[in-house]
Structure 1
Amino acid sequence: MDLKVIWNDFIEYLRAETDIHHAYVKWITGIPFLYIDSDLDKSEVEHLIRKWSARAMRGKRLHSDTIFFRTQPSLFVYRHRFYVPQEKMFCCGNLCVDCVRLKN
């Protein structure tokens, strides 16, 4: 699965919001930082991040994680990432108690 497509959709959804002036991601040492320029308050910006990341991940086995990093006047910076959950996806044959065959 190519996460670039997910990131592109997510950023485009954020940019389409009328209350967000600019939204972009900057990768620093492999860590994605999300920059959002908006006049909204922090809770409203975080709501939009959750809303549009869920929309971008729809139909895929992904999770997202958003951590507030810093703020400047009308600029919010978050450490945001999309990731695949770490759980077993196949049976290894060792009769594990958390075997995928035992799930509903």
Structure 2
Amino acid sequence: MNLTETWESFLDLLSNEEAINFVYKQSITGIPFLYITTNPTESKGTIEASIKLLAAKVMRGKRLQMEYSFVRNDGNLLVYRVRFLVPQEKMFCCGNLCPDCIRFRN
């Protein structure tokens, strides 16, 4: 499972939505943020429904969960924190020399 490919597919699907003019992802301190510029007539609820629907399409057949939260808006720009998570797997090294440490993955 490759999260980079998942993100690319997700961003491609979002950019093809009629309600969205422009979308890009930016990671700040390792946390991915989604910047979405919408049409002036679109509501925040419509955009969030699109995020959920398209994330479900991208995650189909993979062991992933999507977590998102609204951060802020500025006119037609909406900012969300979006993460694709693998359930029950470590996301970082805790420094305890665990046998299933993420440092030992290829």
TM range, smaller chain: 0.7 to 0.9
Check whether the contact 2:19–2:47 (CA below 8 A) recurs between aligned residues. no
- Separation of aligned partners in 2, 1:9 and 1:32: 15
Q: Secondary structure of 1:21's match?
A: strand
The runs of at least 4 consecutive aligned structure 1 residues that moved more than 2 Å come to none
C-alpha contact 2:36 2:77 (8 A) present in aligned 1: yes
Partner of 1:8: 8
Give the CA RMSD over aligned residues. 1.0
Aligned length: 87
- Counterparts of 2:19 and 2:72, CA distance in 1: 19
Identity %: 45
Do residues 50 (structure 1) and 52 (structure 2) align? yes
Aligned residue identity for 2:48 = E
Distance 1:41 1:11 in 2: 19
Unaligned 5+ segments in structure 2 are: 90-106
Structure 1 spans left out of the alignment, 5+ residues: 88-104
**Structure with greater Cα Rg:** 1
